[in-house]
């Protein structure tokens, strides 16, 4: 039985055979349905998903290993089979035994050290012979985790997905911390018993979007309505289909651009790894809509880095001299400015470690809650009064002045600063 397969090195016929210029295809066994194989097709910039039955998988591999892809590596319970196609189109087969457990989920990327420790403790007793005290617990089957391949049908966390399982639990812990502050502020929907409005910008495959829904509805018993927004229509359609299959009626997925989104007024805004200035547009939307809480994990802070030069600031020349240092410095400056701007707009702000660096290098979270349970109307009044006063005096507030001075010192612009300054 095939547990995983990876096709790579596309031929010139791949687009004609499969409809797109795919660079690789990754297939894994997930079980649980009449189409137990999950396939990801990758182009240069996008990924597309498809499910196969066992027969359909065999037909796909037979038709495309060689004609569409020169290389293919298949793994079963006890062996690895490699197919190599030469320039003449001849395909050879190499086979070697695997000295691994027959657990099909071992055939994947290594765990981070922290996840490996947790998994070892949870499944083998470990040094402390205990299980981690996660909010979403192992051993209790969770439908969305099973559908996404994180849990088996019995509720056991798949070894290779333990990093993802830890990330999901860390996120709901951070969300749980802000719920008291959210509950103290008037919700966007004023009706008694109205659901909490959650907006997830750049929702992607929606592991965390589904986690939020499960945590609020099933664990906390808090009614909610969740909207996920993403640019990729195929991903949006896939998530919407999963919600339908799971019988979830309070999730909606929308194909759209964060920069031009004009949808719901959210109580909580989530933005996980929204690339570069997409995070700024999401934060600006949250501020304008007076969201009660914001959880943002920025990604790819290229804007300032693209403007910095080695000679941008003589006093900090050592930080700007080397590319990797300049990249990290610009990311920290970007997030520092974002945090200051949110504070300026009436939020209590924390910059936290989202997940350990081994799990993902994109590990900083900006978490913000509206101060003092302020309602939308009062904050809008405060902000409009502040903007009017600044407009009449031609002056910036103290926080704006500090951010403006920091950016000017390096001769750079920052999108959130510009958006909030322009929009008032």
Buried-state track 396-422, b at ≥16 Cβ within 10 A, e below 16 = eeeebeebeebbeebebebbbbebbee
Question: Residue 272's beta-bridge partner residues?
Answer: 297
Name the E strands within 169-230: 196-201, 224-230
Residues 175/233, Cβ–Cβ less than 8 Å: no
Please enumerate in sequence order all residues whose Cβ is within 8 A of that of 119, keeping only pairs 6 or more positions apart, or say none: 111, 157, 159, 162
| Cβ neighbours of residue 12 closer than 8 Å, sequence gap 6 or more | none
The pLDDT of residue 375: 47
105 phi and psi, to 5 degrees? -85, 5
Instruction: Write the CB contacts of 423 (distance below 8 Å, at least 6 apart in sequence).
Output: 284, 288
> Residue 67 is encoded by which pair of tokens?
């004609």
Which residue in this structure is represented by tokens 């099933």? 218
Q: What is the pLDDT of residue 284?
A: 94
Residue 62: count other Cβ atoms within 10 Å of its Cβ: 10
Give the contacts of 170 (CB within 8 A, at least 6 positions apart): 354, 355
CB atoms within 10 A of CB 3: 19
pLDDT at 112: 58
CB atoms within 10 A of CB 330: 23
Query: Could you write out the DSSP letters of every residue in 303-358?
Result: HHHHH--TTS-GGGHHHHHSHHHHHHHHHHHHHHHHHHHHHHTTEEEEEEE-S-TT
424 token code pair: 């008032």
Q: Which parts of the chain register pLDDT below 70? A: 32-33, 99-132, 185-193, 356-362, 372-399, 423-424
pLDDT digits (tens, 9 = 90+) for 27-42: 998 876 678 888 999 9
User: How far is residue 271's CA from residue 292's CA, in Å, rounded to a whole number?
Assistant: 14
Beta bridge partners of 87: none
pLDDT for 399 equals 65
Q: What is the pLDDT of residue 186?
A: 65
pTM more than 0.75? no
The answer to whether 239 touches 227, Cβ cutoff 8 Å, is no
pLDDT digits (tens, 9 = 90+) for 242-298: 999 999 999 999 999 999 998 889 999 999 888 888 899 999 999 999 999 999 998
What is the per-residue pLDDT for 385?
A: 39
Cβ atoms of 397 and 387 closer than 8 Å = no
d(CA 104, CA 176): 34
């Amino acid at each position: 039985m095939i547990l995983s397969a990876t096709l790579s090195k596309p031929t010139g016929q791949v687009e004609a055979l499969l409809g797109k210029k795919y660079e690789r295809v990754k297939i894994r066994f997930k079980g649980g349905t009449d189409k137990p194989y999950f396939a990801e097709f990758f182009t240069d910039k996008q990924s597309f998903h498809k499910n196969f039955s066992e027969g359909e998988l065999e037909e796909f591999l037979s038709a495309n290993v060689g004609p569409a892809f020169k290389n293919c590596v298949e793994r079963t319970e006890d062996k690895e089979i490699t197919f190599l196609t030469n320039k003449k189109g001849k395909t050879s087969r190499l086979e070697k035994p695997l000295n691994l457990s027959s657990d099909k989920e071992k055939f994947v990327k290594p765990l981070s050290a922290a996840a490996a420790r947790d998994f070892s403790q949870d499944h083998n007793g470990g040094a402390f012979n205990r299980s981690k005290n996660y909010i979403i617990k192992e051993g209790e089957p969770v439908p969305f985790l099973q559908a996404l391949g994180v849990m088996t049908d019995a509720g056991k966390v798949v070894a290779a997905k333990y990093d993802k399982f830890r990330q999901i639990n860390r996120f709901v812990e951070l969300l749980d911390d802000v719920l008291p502050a959210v509950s103290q502020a008037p919700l966007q929907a004023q009706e008694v018993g109205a659901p909490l409005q959650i907006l997830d910008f750049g929702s992607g495959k929606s592991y965390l979007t589904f986690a939020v829904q499960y945590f609020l509805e099933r664990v906390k018993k808090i009614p909610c309505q969740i909207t996920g927004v993403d640019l990729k229509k195929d991903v949006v359609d896939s998530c919407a289909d999963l919600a339908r299959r799971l019988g979830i009626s309070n999730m909606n997925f929308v194909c759209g651009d964060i920069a031009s989104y004009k949808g719901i007024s959210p109580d909580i805004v989530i933005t996980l790894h929204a690339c570069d200035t997409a995070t700024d547009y999401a934060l600006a939307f949250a501020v304008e809509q007076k969201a009660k809480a914001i959880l943002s994990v920025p990604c790819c802070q290229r804007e300032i880095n693209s403007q910095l030069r080695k000679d941008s600031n003589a006093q900090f020349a050592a930080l700007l001299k080397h590319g990797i240092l300049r990249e990290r410095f610009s990311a920290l400056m970007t997030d520092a400015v974002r945090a200051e701007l949110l504070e300026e707009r009436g939020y209590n702000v924390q910059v936290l470690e989202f997940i350990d660096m081994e799990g993902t290098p994109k590990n900083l979270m900006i978490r913000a809650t509206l101060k003092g349970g302020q309602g939308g109307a009062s904050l809008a009044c405060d902000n409009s009064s502040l903007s009017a006063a600044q407009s009449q005096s031609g002056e910036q507030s103290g926080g704006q002045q500090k951010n403006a001075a920091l950016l000017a010192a390096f001769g750079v612009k920052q999108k959130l600063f510009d958006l909030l300054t322009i929009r008032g």
